[in-house]
């Protein structure tokens, strides 16, 4: 364990030190990467420090789990091979006939997992606009005694909807269920769902936590020891654990999370304002803009507004494709949250698995463009966005 006091140390300090301390044997500052599948035991069934097999626990992964738990203000954390492996574990705790109420605006991979896999095993899903608290409460009440989770993303992917976490926690608990918050877009630096009443917080650590587009990982953090035991049992049984090298890379990333999120947010705000001023753009979706319908709520529950922007071009689908292929600093690629800026067209990339009618019901236009704004110099980014807009205007 680190020697810092987690109750008094600020976020930036915990990001660097929580879960980590110099090796007492040789003074090594960085947590070693323990490339071990198994560990020697001094006596049968008596593993040293609880380590016997790396599917179950690994010292590098333990350090990351303690680090992430500290950043989210949680008592425990568990790390997985990917964000989807973490979601799969949560869903696998549901029984046939259980009911999950989820946001209508979800990452396409999450929606695919829910509808293509778990529905066929008898798990029921109701997708609702969770920014509408009355509709959310009605869906929870309709599910009744079969309710397993209320599952939300905020900000959501890709429409950047902002759901009231505190209000949803009250609704979930009144309905006798757990609130699960996917905090990937905000990161623990910008938003603390557990402090607002959430029961479990989930991350694709691949994104902002790792921050360098070089590791794939997922995490679940929480405070309830019974939930931890249930989740850890399933993870160990099915083997969705995170390898030590990826754990090390994510832990390296969290050390600079605060610095990066400040620059991501600063750059994104400047680009969002620039896009809003341009005639080629029909609509800009960014929680930091006063034009965002939940700007006041985002200001209340987030430290800043993050690095993600979605927007619609007047030239529609052709314009979106042209924009995404014309940029030079923004790379056309899926994923998000790295130091480099990325651009994509969600309806034909990350959210292609969602039927068109359901995308449109969630407000997702076919020509929607999503930017993951990196930490490059803002002048270069603005010039690149303008390059894309010129190409979009010329598209037919």
Q: Which residues are catalytic?
A: 55, 107, 182, 207
Task: In whole angstroms, give the CA distance from residue 217 to residue 122.
Answer: 28
Task: In whole angstroms, give the CA distance from residue 363 to residue 360.
Answer: 5
Instruction: Name which of 108, 111, 155, 156 is nearest 348 in CA terms.
Output: 108
H or E element at residue 316 = helix 316-326
Preceding amide of 278 cis, omega within 30? no
Q: How many CB atoms lie within 10 A of CB 226?
A: 8
Query: Would you say 113 and 91 are in contact if contact means Cβ atoms under 8 Å apart?
Result: yes
Strands of the chain (E only): list them. 76-80, 99-103, 124-128, 147-153, 178-182, 200-204, 218-222, 281-285, 308-313, 331-332, 342-344, 369-372
Preceding amide of 158 cis, omega within 30? yes
Residue 213, Ramachandran bin (φ over 0: left; ψ between -120 and 50: alpha; else beta): left
Task: In whole angstroms, give the CA distance from residue 279 to residue 281.
Answer: 5
Query: Would you say 166 and 301 are in contact if contact means Cβ atoms under 8 Å apart?
Result: yes
Classified as helix, coil or strand, 313 is strand
User: Facing residues of 235 across strands?
Assistant: none
Angle (CA) 170 175 180, round 5°: 65
Q: Which residues lie closer than 8 Å to 202 by C-beta, 6 or more apart?
A: 83, 86, 87, 90, 180, 181, 182, 183, 184, 218, 219, 220
């Amino acid at each position: 364990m680190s020697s810092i006091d987690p109750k008094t140390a600020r976020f930036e300090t915990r990001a660097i030190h929580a879960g980590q301390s110099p090796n007492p044997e040789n003074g090594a500052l960085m947590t070693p990467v323990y490339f071990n599948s198994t560990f020697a035991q001094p006596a049968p069934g008596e593993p040293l420090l609880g380590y016997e097999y790396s599917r179950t626990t690994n010292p590098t992964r333990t350090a990351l789990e303690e680090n992430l738990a500290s950043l989210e203000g949680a008592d425990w954390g568990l790390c997985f091979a990917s964000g989807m492996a973490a979601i799969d574990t949560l869903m696998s705790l549901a029984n046939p006939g259980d009911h999950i109420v989820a946001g209508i605006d979800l990452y396409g991979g999450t929606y695919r997992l829910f509808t293509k896999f778990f529905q066929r095993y008898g798990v029921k899903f109701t997708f609702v606009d969770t920014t509408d608290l009355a509709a959310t409460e009605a869906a929870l009440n309709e599910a009744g005694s079969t309710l397993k989770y209320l599952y939300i993303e905020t900000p959501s992917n890709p429409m950047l909807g902002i759901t009231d976490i505190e209000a949803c926690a009250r609704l979930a608990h009144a309905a006798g269920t757990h609130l699960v918050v996917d905090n990937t877009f905000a990161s623990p630096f910008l938003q603390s769902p557990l402090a607002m009443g959430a029961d479990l917080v989930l991350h694709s650590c691949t994104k902002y936590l790792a921050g360098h587009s070089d590791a794939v990982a997922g995490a679940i953090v929480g405070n309830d020891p019974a939930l931890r035991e249930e989740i850890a049992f399933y993870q160990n049984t099915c083997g969705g654990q995170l390898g030590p090298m990826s754990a090390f890379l994510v832990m390296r990333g969290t050390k600079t999370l605060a610095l990066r999120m400040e620059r991501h947010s600063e750059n994104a705000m400047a680009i969002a304002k620039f896009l809003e001023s341009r005639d080629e753009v029909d609509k800009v979706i960014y929680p930091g803009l006063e034009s965002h319908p939940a700007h006041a709520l985002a200001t209340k529950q987030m430290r800043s507004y993050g690095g993600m922007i979605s927007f619609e071009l007047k030239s529609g689908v052709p314009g979106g494709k042209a924009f995404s292929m014309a940029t030079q600093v923004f790379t056309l690629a899926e994923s998000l949250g790295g130091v480099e800026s990325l651009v994509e067209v969600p309806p034909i990339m990350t959210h292609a698995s969602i039927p068109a009618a359901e995308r449109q019901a969630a407000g997702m236009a076919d020509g929607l463009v999503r930017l993951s704004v990196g930490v490059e110099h803002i002048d270069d980014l603005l010039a690149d966005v303008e390059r894309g807009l010129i190409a979009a205007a010329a598209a037919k």
